A = this chain, B = another copy of it.
Amino acid sequence: MADQVILLDFWASVFGMRARIALAEKGVGYEYKEQDLMNKSPLLLQMNPVHKKIPVLIHNGKPICESLIIVQYIDEVWKDKAQLLPSDPYDRAQARFWADFIDKKVYDVGKRVWATKGAEQEAGKKDFIETFKLLEETLGDKHYFGGDTFGFVDVALIPYYSWFYAYERFANLSMEAELPKLIAWAKRCLTRESVSKTLPDAQKVFELITVMRKRLGVE
């Protein structure tokens, strides 16, 4: 019997994009179910009763939650193609470390740039650039974070690229001027169909964040 794979997701979610990229890398077909985050569906609440958040991968009726856990699950179930985590335990630990760092820092420093203004935003901008510079240093001269092959850390970070235009507009900065190697890496990732077909239009993300800023009372 064929696998039944469903993804509960929201188009602009950097976390949801991770699952979509991993599934595309593995060539897994699935049913995409866009979720209304302002009015959560009974299915979402049933499948992720603890956090009530997307993305949720439902594989043959069983839910898997939390994006990095979903990506690891996908890597372990469909293991014969496009290995995302390296085989060596130390390299795996390093990949997990940087993916975890991205989870702990990047969304938050991004929010400090788009959801604030004035002095608060200036302080956020400093932190934002420092965080991305550290990631750029970690990338170094490698093609991808893990070396020559697109992998776990790339999947964790590349979705944010679709938010870069919004960061630039709201924080009045040039990502390419600040982070040339990271931008070159992002463009390299975009040559992969798994990434280019997943990442939404930057202008659409910018418009969404404009609405979110208004909702938060920033403008």
Question: Are A97 and B134 interface neighbours, CB within 8 A?
Answer: no
Produce 1/0 per residue, A84-105, CB < 8 A to B.
Answer: 0000011011001100110000
A16 to B157 alpha-carbon distance, docked (Å): 28
Q: A138: shortest Cβ distance to chain B, in Å?
A: 9
CB proximity of A44 to chain B, nearest CB, Å: 16
Q: At the interface, yes or no: A123 with Cβ under 8 Å from chain B?
A: no
B69 pairs with A89, CB closer than 8 A: no
- Residue of A64, A72, A73, A97 with most chain B CB atoms under a 10 A cut-off: A97
**Interchain CA distance A49-B134 in the complex, whole Å:** 11
Q: Give the residues in chain B near A134, CB-CB below 8 Å.
A: 50
Chain A contact patch, size range:
20 to 34
Please encode chain A, from 63 to 78, with 1 for each CB lying within 8 Å of some chain B CB and 0 for all others. Answer: 0111001101100110
A65 contact set on B, CB distance < 8 A: 97
Q: For the complex, is A62 an interface residue (Cβ under 8 Å from B)?
A: yes
Contact B93 A64 (CB under 8 A): yes
Give the B-binding residues of A (Cβ under 8 A).
Answer: 50, 59, 62, 64-66, 69-70, 72-73, 76-77, 89-90, 92-93, 96-97, 100-101, 134
